[in-house]
Amino acid sequence: MKAEIFSIGTEILLGEIVDTNSKHIAYELASMGIDVFYKTSIGDNEKRLLDAINIAYKRADIIISTGGLGPTDDDLTKETFAKYFNKKLITHKESLENLKSYYKEEYMPKSNLKQADMPEGSIVLVNENGTASGCIIEKDNKIAVILPGPPSECLPMFNKQVKPILQKYTNKVLLSKNLNLCGIGESNASEMIKDLMLSSTNPTIAPYAGNNEVRFRVTASGKTKEEANKILKPTVDKLYNIFDEYIYGEDEQTLQDVIVKKLIKNNMTICTAESCTGGLLASTIINVPSASKVFLNGVISYSNDSKIYELNVCEGDLQKYGAVSEKIAIQMAEGIREKCNSHIGISTTGIAGPTGGTDEKPVGLVYIAISIKGKETFCKKLMLTGDRQKIREKTVHICFSNLLKLI
C-alpha cells in the first residue's frame, strides 16, 4: 500500500510556515508499513490541486491531505476532492452541532457553516479540537483522507480516528529500533556494515547523521508484533556486537540523558568549569529534567583572573602555557571538582573563533579535561572545524562521549 501526503496552503508555498504535520503523519505511516514515496505541497488553488491529485493517484493508492478546510473562500480542499470523486457536499448534522457548540453563545460567522458540509458517502471525522471536520472518501480503490491544517487539530484526528481505519487496510506490523552511536562518523560506521545494510531487506538498516551523532534505524515487518520483534532482534544484536563501544542509547535517548541516568545510578555528582563553551556544557546537562540530582555547580571562567580565583589554576602555568593548554584544562577540571567536592569535574578551554587564533594555537584548538575522584585526570586535545557555535557544540559532544566511557 502506497500513500502520498499533501500539505495544502499558500502560506506553505510562501515560506511563512513550516509544515510539521507531514513529518508526524509520515512517521506513523512508516510504522504501519504504509510506504510514502512522495510528499507534495500545493497552494489553495483548484486547478493545481486537481493536477496534483491526478498525478498522485498514478503512483499511490491513498492521499492524506492536510490544510485548506478553513471557513474562507480560498479554502477549497474538500470541494476539490469532492469534484474529483464526483461527490456532492451535504450538511453533516454532527459536524454542524460540533461547529455550533464550538461557538457557544458567541456570534458565528456565516462563512463557517461550510465547514459542516461533507462529501456524500464519506466517513466524517468530527473535529474534537476545532471547527473543521475531516473525512475519508473511498471510490474505485482510491482513498482520500482529508484533514484540517492546524497541527493541534490534524494530529489528534489522525492518531485517534484515521490510524485505526488505515490499520485495517495493511496486513502487517512494523517495528523499529534506533541505535544511537557516538565517537564514530556516518561514513565510517556505514562502511563497517556496508554488506549487512545491502543484504538486509527485512529488517532494513538505515543510517542517519546529525548533531555530531550517527543513528542506525532497524525496521522489521511482520504479521504480528511478535513476529516483527522476532525478525528485528537478531539484526539489532548483530549491530550491538559490531558497534558495542559506540552505541550509547536507543530511540529518543540523548547522550546527556544517558549520562545523567548513569550518574544518578552511581550516586555521583558533577561540576563544570567552562571557558570556550561558555555555559553550553552545563546548560546541556541541565536540560535533562533530573539533572538537579547530580549537577552541583558550574563556573564559566572566561578571564584569567577567574581561572585563578575560582578554580585555583596556577598563575605561573597560565603565563607559561597559556589558557588554552593541557595543563590549564587539567587544573580547571581538578579545581572545580575539589572546590565543590563533587565526584566529577569537567573543563573546556579553547579558541572558538572567529578571531583569536594564532599559528601555534589556531581557531578550533580545544582542550577538554575530566577529573574523577581517585582516578588520573583525563585530558584530550581537539582540532575542530566549523563556526563558533559548531566548535562549541562539538566540544560539548566530545566531552559527553568521553565522560560516558569514564563513568
Residues 368-387 that bind its own copies (CB under 8 A): 383, 385-387
Phi, psi of 239 (to 5 degrees): -65, -40
For 351-401, list the strands marked E by DSSP: 365-372, 378-383
CB of 120 to its own copies, least distance (A): 25
Helices 388-406 and 255-265: crossing angle in degrees, nearest 10, is 30
Residue 10 near its own copies by CB under 8 A: yes
Is 75 a residue that touches its own copies (CB under 8 A)? no
Write the binding mask 288 to 317 for its own copies: x where contact by CB under 8 A, - elsewhere. -x-xx--xxxxxxxxx-xx---x-------
Q: Cβ of residue 142: shortest distance to its own copies, in angstroms? A: 19
Helix (H) or strand (E) holding 39: strand 35-42
Q: Give, as ranges, the residues between 17 and 56 that touch its own copies (CB under 8 A).
A: 17-20, 22-30, 36-43, 45, 48, 51-52, 55
Verify binding: residue 358, its own copies, rule CB under 8 A. Answer: no
Looking at 132-140, 243-251, 276-284, 312-320, which segment touches its own copies (CB under 8 A)? 276-284
Residue 96 or 286: the one with the smaller Cβ distance to its own copies is 286
CA 181, distance to chain mean position in Å, is 15
Among 127, 272, 347, 395, binds its own copies (CB under 8 A): 272
Query: Rounded CA gap, 4 and 37, in Å?
Result: 7
Give the range of 98-106, 157-165, 239-247, 251-259 binding its own copies by CB under 8 A.
98-106
**How far is residue 234 from each of residues 179, 241, 245, measured CA to CA in Å?**
14, 11, 18
| Interaction between residue 286 and its own copies (CB under 8 A) | yes
Backbone φ and ψ for 79, nearest 5 degrees, come out as: -60, -40
For residues 123 and 264, which CB has a smaller minimum distance to its own copies in the complex?
A: 264
Smallest separation, CB 293 to its own copies (Å) = 10
Of residues 197 through 236, those in contact with its own copies by CB under 8 A are 206-210, 217
CB atoms within 10 A of CB 226: 11
Q: Of the listed pieces 85-93, 221-229, 275-283, 369-377, which binds its own copies according to CB under 8 A?
A: 275-283
Q: Name the one range near its own copies by CB under 8 A: 12-20, 135-143, 158-166, 224-232.
A: 12-20
59 vs 24: CA distance, rounded Å: 21
Task: Yes or no: say if 216 and 200 are a contact pair by the CB < 8 Å rule.
Answer: no
Contact 357, 404 (CB under 8 A): no
Which one, 207 or 326, has the nearer CB to its own copies? 207
If one asks whether residue 170 binds its own copies (CB under 8 A), the answer comes out as no
> 197: burial class by Cβ within 10 Å (0-12, 13-18, 19+)?
middle
Rounded to the nearest 5°, which phi and psi values hold at 215? -130, 135
Q: Which of 159, 167, 187, 358 binds its own copies (CB under 8 A)?
A: 187
Least distance to its own copies, CB of residue 323, Å: 11
Q: Is the preceding peptide bond at 354 cis, omega within 30 degrees of 0?
A: yes
With CB under 8 A as the contact rule, the residue among 90, 138, 139, 190 that binds its own copies is 190
Q: State the minimum distance, in angstroms, from the CB of residue 222 to its own copies.
A: 18
Contacts of 384 (CB under 8 A, 6+ apart): 350, 364, 365, 366, 390, 391, 394, 395
Decide if residue 388 touches its own copies (CB under 8 A). Answer: yes
**Binding test (CB under 8 A) with its own copies, winner from 72, 167, 266, 319:** 72
Q: Which is nearer to its own copies, 101 or 241 (CB)?
A: 101
CB of 274 to its own copies, least distance (A): 8
Q: Which of 51, 350, 35 is nearest to 174 (CA)?
A: 35
# residues contacting its own copies (CB under 8 A):
98
SS (H, E, C) 96-150: HHHHHHHHCCCCCCHHHHHHHEEECCCEEECCCCCCCCEEEEEECCEEEEEECCC
Query: Of 77, 80, 98, 112, which lies in the binding site for its own copies, with binding defined by CB under 8 A?
Result: 112
Q: What SS3 state is found at 248?
A: strand
Q: What is the distance between the alpha carbons of residues 232 and 335, in angstroms, rounded to a whole number? A: 48
Instruction: Scan residues 120-139 and list those touching its own copies (CB under 8 A).
Output: 129
Residue from 224, 389, 405, 406 binding its own copies (CB under 8 A): 389
For residue 191, state whether it binds its own copies (rule: CB under 8 A).
Answer: yes
Q: Is 71 in the site for its own copies (CB under 8 A)?
A: yes
